[in-house]
Structure 1
Amino acid sequence: MRIIRALTAISLMAASILPAPAQEVVVTATRSASNRDGFQGTSIPIITLRRTADFAVQRVSITGDTRDEALRRKEIYAMVRSAIEQAGKHGVELATGDYVVEALTLANYGDLLLSRDGRPDSERTSFIIKVKLEPGMDARAALDRIARFIKAVPPTGRAQIEKSGDMTLSVLNPDQYRTKIIEMIAADAATTAARFGTGYGVEVRGLDRPVEWSRASLTEVFLYLPAAYVIRPKD
């Protein structure tokens, strides 16, 4: 069984891991693994990096109930296009995706899927509104900006836009924080091992896993590796 000297070996491991391709992921309260700040879930490692999320995220739906199917769909997509054109003026960005997020643009909005709305002659599509969480911005400010934008998008025919669910968060490329998290684990492991004397070392597992996340507060997330270490006598 290999015993890893906490600071040296873990730092070398961190340097050898190639970063994952950049992506933006959605963090929801239901994925939270912490009971801090009112978010309930299963336990997460004690060693976490807590930081402000990159964006506040609000899912919205555009629903149309014009009886003629071709006209109904034309109105829905026209309203999506209008939302895209209005976004920059109101300090928001639009995106699509349930888990991994990508920008919603004039080039791809036609790829949005329509689904039945549970009523005759009614269909809907959905996407997300993003507000960059700038320093000092709280959840209320983000929600206010989203609300102003929704109000600013004019109805098209019988198509209407409305919020769907609660505001959540997104993080850009969580794996960019891998090295920082490993350094935190290494420092904690080294400090703990030192308390047992020079005859002890540390075995660490789980550093080869992707960075995971959960919601920490209305605007913050926990980023962590599912790692654990054991203090053992040195060979």
Structure 2
Amino acid sequence: MDPHLLTGAHALGALPDAERVEFEAHLDRCRGCAEEAGGLRETAARLGSAVDHAASPGVLRSRVLAAVRRLRQVPPSSEVEAVASLRQGLRRAAGLVLAACATAAAVAGVHATLSTTTTIPVAASPHTRIGDLLAAPDLRLVTAGQPPGTAAVSRSRDEMLFLADGLRTLPDDRVYQLWLVDDRGPRPAGTPDPAGRAASLLVTGIGGVGEVILTVEPAGGSPSPTGPPVITVSLA
């Protein structure tokens, strides 16, 4: 695992003890990671202290039990695979939370029950567009690709929050551009806001869209894709 990709997991305390010790040794040698990890810890702390209310244990229990009934449970094929899957899940969750923080630091807090394709919101601040989207009762979280891209989709709000992590740094004359693909083909959705190796974009007007793709385009964007997809996420 590239240690430069672990700043988010470390900031949220999601690293196992052995990996945490190795990563903290890396921080002593890498000023960039140290500064990024420090900033993410401060952001996570501010968001944690900004939660405006907490659901009662009874409410949380009923929601978790309801989610369990809807989610397919797949047993791990081995104990080693189960541990690896847990670590990957923690890192993915940390990356998504921190990407959302970079996009909208005003979101007070989101507590969700996640599967690989679905998120069930429990509580979110209603004071921003992204907060309203994350609190939508029909919110779905779809992740695909390598590097991973995630679409948080609400059909009732006709909105989607696109998040990508692990992107390579582009030269000044190139940008990442997002495309919405429907029966008529791809149409431009905009250029995601970069935040280091992550990028995010809030999109409105997703009716009939079956998938979203991310490509590399000339600076300023293109009217149609000129290169192969970097990330493809199916919304079906």
Question: Could you say which TM-score interval applies, normalised by the shorter chain?
Answer: under 0.3
TM-score of the superposed pair, with normalisation by structure 1: 0.24
Higher relative contact order (CA 8 A, sep 6+): 1
TM-score of the superposed pair, with normalisation by structure 2: 0.23
The higher radius of gyration belongs to 1
